[in-house]
Amino acid sequence: MSNTTIELLNNHKSIRAFTNQKVSDEIVATILTAANAGPNINNFQPVTFIEITDQKFKAEITKQVGMAYIETAARYFVVTVDFNKDLIGLTPEQQQVAEKKLSTYSMLEGGIISAGVALGRAQVAAESLGLGSVTMAGALRSFELYEERLNLPKLVKAVMGFSIGYPAQEPGIKPKLPLSGILMTDRYSQVQMTQAVTAYDRTMVDYYAKRHMDNSWIKNNMTLVARRFDTTQLDEYPKTKGFRLS
């Protein structure tokens, strides 16, 4: 089965090179309105996109995290989990009760899931309008810059970066796991998952070989998880924003 929406979803490509063509405010409003129309935790709507328009600031972030598609994208956004908005209009007593609830790990997790849903919808909306986009967790490594420059209040935590623009590349579609690697019935089957991953790894060997790379999914995953990167400050970041992780 297929239709234009299914085809759009199945043909997704992360775009990391953009033309100089401008993206209008109307297009941004259309994309983010579609993003916000999706499901979220308790209708708290705990996601706020903060666009960075200062090109020097974007360059500074790019230098710190090594992602040129922050600086070169027509529009770049810091995506935040935002429970501050849910405190507005409450009495001081009500705010105290609300903060205790909203600062829990379960709420932070719900907010991050809500941000993921919003980002997925934003990507589909952008691609339907002929744009390319890329989401990036790695952009969070510049969280100290965001805290310094973006005036983020308590219970507002940066979680992702999001770049959009008109594509200047055609990277092709990266194969994904087969359905057997994402769907199980009644229980988790290690045998099924092992078979799915083994088959997929062979697919990715061929994929990389066509790009003149000696790599596979398993090998690439090991390279990524073996990278030496001190996450201590990132691990502490939610606590500095008022979230209780235990």
Q: Is the pLDDT of residue 178 over 90?
A: yes
Superfamily of domain 4-171+228-240: NADH Oxidase (3.40.109.10)
**Neighbouring C-alpha atoms within 13 Å toward the C-beta of 203:** 12
Task: Output the pTM of the full model.
Answer: 0.94
Q: What is the pLDDT of residues 1-21, one digit of tens each?
A: 999 999 999 999 999 999 999
Going by pLDDT thresholds of 50, 70 and 90, the confidence category of residue 187 is: very high
Q: What is the pLDDT of residue 75?
A: 98
User: DSSP class of residue 137?
Assistant: S
Q: What is the pLDDT of residue 230?
A: 86
Q: What is the pLDDT of residue 246?
A: 76
Q: What is the pLDDT of residue 16?
A: 97
Annotated domain spans of the chain: 4-171+228-240, 174-215
Q: DSSP strand E in 55-177: where?
A: 75-82, 132-136, 156-165
Q: Is 166 in contact with 74 (CB distance < 8 Å)?
A: yes
